[in-house]
Structure 1
Amino acid sequence: MGFNFNSVWLTLLMLSIAVMIHEYGHFLTARTFGVTVYEYSVGFGPLIGKFTRGGVQYSLRWILFGGFCKIAGMDMALEGETKEPETRPDHIFYNLTLWKKAIVLATGSIFNLLLGMIVFFAALIWIGTPVISHGALVADSVVVSSVNSKSPAMNAGFKPGDKLLFVNGRPIKQSTDLSEVVQKLPHQDLRIEVDRKGTKLIKQLTAQYSPENKRYLIGVSLMVTPKFKTASVRAAAKQTITLPWTTITMLVKLIKGKVKGAVMGPIGAVDMIEQTLQLPPQLVWFSILQFFAAISISLCLFNLLPLPLPILDGGWIVILILEKIFRREFSAEQKTAAYTIGLVAALSAFVWITYGDVIRLVKRVLGG
């Protein structure tokens, strides 16, 4: 099974937006504290175009996956870079007080948290959540998703997208409603009323027996569009406020092994989007916005992990605090050694997660 291009670029787009918002958090607070920002770039790699405003170079680069913010003195303070920035001392990151450095580093993650909460809140207000009754989705409509060739439905003129309304006068509220009538009246004419783009049509047909399925069929695949209920501002706000804690609780359960198969890497993310795009339109938007919110909040929590990794703001904050406690800076060699250990651990975790993605994908495709 190959991935649809739409699922790949949509996953990359969501990740890129989350990363760019993260970098904008660093950019905004650095500028607020008077620190020189050399460049704010969308993407990596070779330059496509640029312009300069307020002393900052705004760039667009060819690898449109995330981006970066180049702040004066940040490499020197965090990675042991020895080259002095070409700017005034009071405009350099490493000359800030500890709490200002921590704010600059943490704001990227805070912006991710806010982005995730805003997206989640908007989804509840504008789209709502699927209505569930007795553990099952409440259907808003039953729609034909595909029509088998040389079937009674094909001969009767059914088309994908037809909304089923009635069968022999009985309302079709669930996909099982049609199946029940077909099985009860296997040799009788069925009168099915459909809605095709606002036009009511009557289709008549007789079901055929399928030896393979051992039942009577008319030759259509059905898709249930769930009923959605939008939340009030108050209710949406209440759910949104609890979202960070819900995410943390889920991560704790994951670490304790109480949640299986919840960790996913790039392949797993693309596969989830691939499956999501097969859902009814309203459910697609609901699922994508929920997933985007989860990506942004997860990026926030991941970046605040106190691990010695160059890409993790939490690790840098811990190093700055330790330097303050011991009243000395760690050498470039010490920082490099710590980052190397962290990088090996991160790459090992990435390989393990990707392996899990592949195994789950293969099992699903092969029906295992």
Structure 2
Amino acid sequence: MLTFVSFVVVFGAIVFFHEFGHFLVAKLAGITVYEFALGFGPVLTSKKRRGTKYSLRAFPLGGFVKMAGMDEPQEGEEVESDDPGSFHNKSLAWRLGTISAGPLMNFVLAVLLFFAYFMFVEVPPRITLIEQGSVAEKAGFLPGDEFISFDGEKVSDTDEIIARIQAAPQRELAIVVKRERRNITILVVPEEREGRGILGIGIADTKPKYPFWLSLKGAFTQTGRVTAELVRGLGRIITGREKAELSGPIGIVQLVGQTAKQSLADLLLLAILLTINLGLLNLLPVPVLDGGWIVILVVEAIRGRPLAPKARGIAQFIGLALLVLLMIFATIKDISRLNLFS
């Protein structure tokens, strides 16, 4: 249940920000918006206000903003060629702005989440991994244990903990850790390696809460750094220097659920990665994605006339087919990782 709820909250927030970007600029441009939907499939609940239907749908795997002149009209949504509310009757700047606003809002969300992480989240020293057969495993330490004290002295910094362990080879330590809201005392004798004490554990770096301006600066800086690294990674994949590791819906749901069980801080960082990834993905020049629409609008501006509806339809069909095939392939890989058919 935690896995499903975590996924719906995290992915729902990311999709909402993305679609809200399209919606907000469309409204500012005077484009008629028929529907603002979160999710796909059957409508669970909806409300119409000022000509726009706001709906929540059954499958929380995306969303959409339906605008006049962009898609095949349904009954009652026919658009005249000179309709001022039609997407295609707006200036190039407004059309590009409306399309670009979705991915842009993903990066805005990343900045907001990084700001919240820096200003409000304090990361304690926790065990992230334990070597198999190590003295830590034999003593009873578990991943997720939070260090409280060593021999009665409180500890709060990762470097201090490492120094204390290394300074005590073959000497018994009384270590208090917090596990599931309970303090547990564990007696352990660090193994000696090259004159230093070793437990065989990995410890998360600690992080204090930062002041407002430092958090704000860090939010913009880290969003830029993560985005640049993801772009470089995409470049390495495209050029064949790095193998692509695909995850479909099943893999993403599983990852969010596992992260939610670890800590809120980890879930926040995962949400940042997901929203930046979604923003970059939508900027790819693939028809049906925002990047594809941007390419089409630029080509039309250069040609001085719109593409023929048939040509645009074929391009979008090819783009959709590629995305569906990619999704199917990623889902099959997810299922194979879970060994559902073994």
What TM-score, normalized to structure 2? Answer: 0.71
Counterpart-to-counterpart distance in 2, 1:355 and 1:341 = 21
How far apart are residue 31 of structure 1 and its match? Answer: 0.9
SS, match of residue 140 in structure 1: coil
Q: 1:88 to 1:327 in 2, by over 3 A?
A: closer
Counterpart-to-counterpart distance in 2, 1:19 and 1:199 = 37
Instruction: Find out whether 1:27 has 2:23 as its counterpart.
Output: yes
Tell me the amino acid that sits aligned with residue 107 of structure 1: A
Q: Which position in structure 1 is the counterpart of 2:149?
A: 165
What TM-score, normalized to structure 1? Answer: 0.67
Equivalent residues, number: 314
Q: Tell me if structure 2 keeps the 8 A contact 1:141–1:174.
A: no
- Listed as ranges, the gaps of 5+ residues in structure 2 are 131-137, 190-199
Tell me the amino acid that sits aligned with residue 306 of structure 1: P
Instruction: Give the one of 121, 124, 146 matched to 1:127.
Output: 121
Instruction: Find out whether 1:291 has 2:270 as its counterpart.
Output: yes
Q: Which position in structure 1 is the counterpart of 2:253?
A: 270
Q: Which position in structure 1 is the counterpart of 2:111?
A: 117
Once the two structures are superposed, residues 316-365 of structure 1 have per-residue CA deviations (whole angstroms, 9 ceiling, x without a partner) of 22223323333443333322322222223223322333344445555xxx
Instruction: Find out whether 1:303 has 2:299 as its counterpart.
Output: no
Instruction: Give the one of 53, 60, 66 matched to 2:49.
Output: 53
Q: How does 1:5-84 map to 2 (within 5 A)?
A: 5-75=1-71, 84=78
Instruction: Find out whether 1:344 has 2:327 as its counterpart.
Output: no
Tell me the amino acid that sits aligned with residue 279 of structure 2: C
SS, match of residue 330 in structure 1: coil
Instruction: Find out whether 1:326 has 2:303 as its counterpart.
Output: yes
Q: 1:87 to 1:25 in 2, by over 3 A?
A: farther
**Bigger CA radius of gyration:** 1
Q: Tell me if structure 2 keeps the 8 A contact 1:119–1:289.
A: yes
Counterpart-to-counterpart distance in 1, 2:154 and 2:274 = 44
SS, match of residue 272 in structure 2: helix
Counterpart-to-counterpart distance in 2, 1:297 and 1:196 = 33
SS, match of residue 46 in structure 2: strand
Tell me the amino acid that sits aligned with residue 311 of structure 2: Q
Q: How does 1:148-297 map to 2 (within 5 A)?
A: 165-166=149-150, 173=161, 177=165, 184=170, 192=174, 194=176, 226-231=205-210, 232-233=214-215, 234-260=217-243, 262-279=245-262, 281=263, 284-285=264-265, 287-297=266-276
Q: Tell me if structure 2 keeps the 8 A contact 1:175–1:224.
A: no
Q: 1:45 to 1:348 in 2, by over 3 A?
A: closer
Q: Tell me if structure 2 keeps the 8 A contact 1:125–1:236.
A: no
Q: Which position in structure 1 is the counterpart of 2:125?
A: 140
- Listed as ranges, the gaps of 5+ residues in structure 1 are 131-138, 146-151, 155-159, 208-220
Q: Tell me if structure 2 keeps the 8 A contact 1:141–1:164.
A: no
Q: Which moved more, 1:229-238 or 1:23-32?
A: 229-238
Q: Which position in structure 1 is the counterpart of 2:135?
A: none
Tell me the amino acid that sits aligned with residue 48 of structure 2: T
SS, match of residue 89 in structure 1: coil
Q: 1:257 to 1:273 in 2, by over 3 A?
A: farther
Q: 1:261 to 1:31 in 2, by over 3 A?
A: closer
How far apart are residue 54 of structure 1 and its match? Answer: 2.9
Counterpart-to-counterpart distance in 1, 2:302 and 2:272 = 36
Tell me the amino acid that sits aligned with residue 276 of structure 1: T
How far apart are residue 112 of structure 1 and its match? Answer: 1.2
Q: 1:40 to 1:122 in 2, by over 3 A?
A: same
Instruction: Give the one of 328, 335, 340 matched to 2:312.
Output: 335
Counterpart-to-counterpart distance in 1, 2:253 and 2:42 = 26
Q: Tell me if structure 1 keeps the 8 A contact 2:173–2:188.
A: no
SS, match of residue 307 in structure 2: coil
How far apart are residue 167 of structure 1 and its match? Answer: 5.4
SS, match of residue 242 in structure 1: helix
Q: Which moved more, 1:290-299 or 1:237-246?
A: 237-246
Counterpart-to-counterpart distance in 2, 1:108 and 1:272 = 24
Q: Tell me if structure 1 keeps the 8 A contact 2:44–2:57.
A: yes
Counterpart-to-counterpart distance in 2, 1:201 and 1:84 = 68
Once the two structures are superposed, residues 42-99 of structure 1 have per-residue CA deviations (whole angstroms, 9 ceiling, x without a partner) of 33333333333333232333334433222122215xx9x9x73279811221211222
Q: Which position in structure 2 is the counterpart of 1:98?
A: 92
How far apart are residue 304 of structure 1 and its match? Answer: 1.5
SS, match of residue 329 in structure 1: coil
Q: Tell me if structure 1 keeps the 8 A contact 2:107–2:223.
A: no
Q: Tell me if structure 1 keeps the 8 A contact 2:127–2:145.
A: no
SS, match of residue 74 in structure 1: coil
